[in-house]
Structure 1
Amino acid sequence: MAVTAIAFIGLGIMGSPMAVHLVNAGHDVTGYNRTPAKARPLAEAGGRVAESVAQAVTGAEVVAIMVPDSPDVQNVLRGDDGVFAHAAPGTLIIDFSTIRPDVTRELAEEAGRRGLRYLDAPVSGGEAGARNATLSIMVGGDAEAFEAAKPIFDVVGKTVVHVGPSGAGQTVKAANQLMVAAHIEALAEAVVFLRAYGVDLEAALEVLGGGLAGSAVLAQKRKNMVERTFEPGFRIELHHKDLGIVTSAAREAGVVLPLGALVAQLVAAADANGDGGLDHSALLRGVERLSGKA
């Protein structure tokens, strides 16, 4: 694999292990994070740490971004210290963040006017997927840019699919977040139901996982719910943001998502009750509150 100079902006729960994988694959990675301490794993792996976005981007062939929300991506790209102001023409921008599809399309158009290439490439798989390099990556943008980025995607992900033009990746990710939230809520309700009848929870979830009710959500989140440990792999406050994207985009498209609307309200309630910083498996706590079991 050819060595690529990569700037990686955003070294949090997801971005840090992704950047480290790229270093381990032999790439020249310079990372930046607003909280400098979060850049330590990258430095320990042999990557460089920049003091600003501009410093990270200067000389980069690829700029990867993994930040929480649409305003964060806009600031990284459009700020005086940002990517648009300092990236060389031809630079490939890969936005791994989960943001609004309409914002993505606007940013991609602006990048094109500046002579830059832009892909929206949100990921699914959570912290475990990032650490194990098994992420599912849904990519929107130009097909040639996708082919150019494929070697990078293959380092951090397992399922990598070009799903359409700019914004398509974010649209597919919105659908993913709808399905994941619904699955987690259903699992949480099943756990409360099973506990109410005194069933052996571990045994019950094992057999459920072997049948049609089995899912990646059940496999990855059952331990959290059984042991009631909710250290964040993906925070409820971020899922709350994502379901806002889903409901807004659905309204714009004129489609009705009844279950999506309900789950969005349950996630909003969990956030409002102070669970926003917990893993989204903590939706269990909301079901317990509604059932008088909290």
Structure 2
Amino acid sequence: MQIEFIVERNKIMDKIGFIGLGIMGTPMALNLLKHQADLHVYDVRESLSDRLVSEGAVKSDPSTIGSTCSVIFLMLPSGGIVKEVLFGEEGVCAGLVPGTVVCDMSSVAPEDSLYCSRLLREKGCGFLDAPVSGGEPKAVDGTLSFMAGGDDATFQKVLPYLEMMGSSALLVGDTGTGSIAKLANQIIVNMTIASVSEAFVFATKAGADPEKVYKAIRGGLAGSAVLDAKLPMILERNFVPGGPIYINHKDIKNVVEEAHLIGTPIPLTSQLFEIMQAMKVRGHMGEDHCGIVKYFENLADCKVQKRDD
């Protein structure tokens, strides 16, 4: 079912936990605070928690969040970290109360989501895998899209808070399908960035003005949200991460492993993974994923950038 958030927002009384205050997590948590959520936050980097405290949040720890919050959001770098935060010695489950709902918005492998769901349900708790699309800009302005996996009752309990952080959500199916949808999204986004990079290195090397090429083609079939978001950054040589390569590299690795597990050939995505491996060797993993252009620039010995008038 597709949910468009046009309904009136109601005051929610749940205590909300939010763990993981990185590039995406901080603006998402701030949007919860803007809607007067009773928010309890944790990040291993205390300075990030302190910023949220200055905006009205309560600084906490995973175990206390587990024992006091009825809805808990996770926005963490990997499935391994998600499992450690939930099930580690001083993790969320150390004090978890039956009936609590955990919503993992991290980008993880479907098997990670299934594992977390099984252990949490054994404790009488709900679980939703609900990764996001939109990157940092949409996290900031509260227009993220959520792709969720789980049962409808759990989705409905979390929905009012998703409404505070995003503009739409879709319950894709059972547990793990949100993570599958996110991996499919990552194939398309990162493959499109690679295609845009290759195309504009080609155009630049051939002598065309890349900015004029962009303006000429963006209104046609080659136009896309990815092209409009990332090509201007490339032209400005702005590689400050909204979506860092290392996160996308992890996601594409999960795609490759999942595809091998289910027996699905992915020749193009496999090549994309190797391109990202080359970026890792060259030390570019902390840059925005539009930095993939540097792989193609290195091959062609040219640079895609604005020209002086």
Instruction: Say which of 223, 236, 245 aligns to 1:227.
Output: 236
Alignment match, 2:196: 187
Are 2:117 and 1:108 equivalent residues in the alignment? yes
Question: How far apart are 1:181 and its partner, in Å?
Answer: 0.8
Alignment match, 2:307: none
Question: How far apart are 1:169 and its partner, in Å?
Answer: 0.5
Q: Indicate if the aligned counterparts of 1:3 and 1:26 stay in contact, CA closer than 8 A.
A: no
Q: Indicate if the aligned counterparts of 2:203 and 2:210 stay in contact, CA closer than 8 A.
A: yes
SS in 1 for 2:168: strand
Instruction: Say which of 17, 21, 24 aligns to 1:14.
Output: 24
Alignment match, 1:275: 284
Question: How far apart are 1:197 and its partner, in Å?
Answer: 2.7
Matches within 5 A, 1:120-131: 120-131=129-140
Q: Which amino acid aligns with 1:227?
A: E
Q: Which amino acid aligns with 1:32?
A: Y
Aligned residues: 293
Question: How far apart are 1:67 and its partner, in Å?
Answer: 0.5
Matches within 5 A, 1:52-201: 52-201=61-210
Q: For residues 208 and 157 of structure 1, what CA distance do their matches in structure 2 show?
A: 30
Q: For residues 223 and 55 of structure 2, what CA distance do their matches in structure 1 show?
A: 37
SS in 2 for 1:275: coil
Q: Indicate if the aligned counterparts of 1:139 and 1:161 stay in contact, CA closer than 8 A.
A: yes
Q: Which amino acid aligns with 1:166?
A: T
Matches within 5 A, 1:33-44: 33-44=43-54
Alignment match, 1:289: 298
Q: Which amino acid aligns with 2:33?
A: V
Alignment match, 1:218: 227
TM score, norm. by length of structure 1:
0.96
SS in 2 for 1:176: helix
Question: How far apart are 1:166 and its partner, in Å?
Answer: 0.6
Structure 2 runs not aligned, ≥5 long? 1-9, 304-309
Question: How far apart are 1:172 and its partner, in Å?
Answer: 0.7
Percent sequence identity is 35
Structure 1 runs not aligned, ≥5 long? none
TM score, norm. by length of structure 2:
0.92
Q: For residues 203 and 131 of structure 1, what CA distance do their matches in structure 2 show?
A: 30
SS in 2 for 1:185: helix
Q: For residues 301 and 214 of structure 2, what CA distance do their matches in structure 1 show?
A: 23
Q: For residues 68 and 224 of structure 2, what CA distance do their matches in structure 1 show?
A: 43
Q: For residues 250 and 120 of structure 2, what CA distance do their matches in structure 1 show?
A: 25
Alignment match, 1:26: 36
Alignment match, 1:240: 249
Alpha-carbon deviations, 1:148-181, whole Å to 9, x = none? 1111111111220000111101011111111111
Question: How far apart are 1:11 and its partner, in Å?
Answer: 0.4
Q: Indicate if the aligned counterparts of 1:23 and 1:46 stay in contact, CA closer than 8 A.
A: yes
SS in 1 for 2:68: coil
Alpha-carbon deviations, 1:78-117, whole Å to 9, x = none? 0111111212110010000011101210110110000110
The higher relative CO (CA closer than 8 Å, separation ≥ 6) is in 2
Higher mean C-alpha deviation, range 7-16 or range 52-61: 52-61
Alpha-carbon deviations, 1:19-62, whole Å to 9, x = none? 11011111100110000112243223211222x21233331011
> Which structure shows the higher helix fraction?
1
CA RMSD of aligned residues (A): 1.2
Alignment match, 1:45: 55
Q: Indicate if the aligned counterparts of 1:191 and 1:225 stay in contact, CA closer than 8 A.
A: no
SS in 2 for 1:155: helix
Q: For residues 77 and 11 of structure 1, what CA distance do their matches in structure 2 show?
A: 16
Q: Which amino acid aligns with 1:89?
A: P
SS in 1 for 2:18: strand
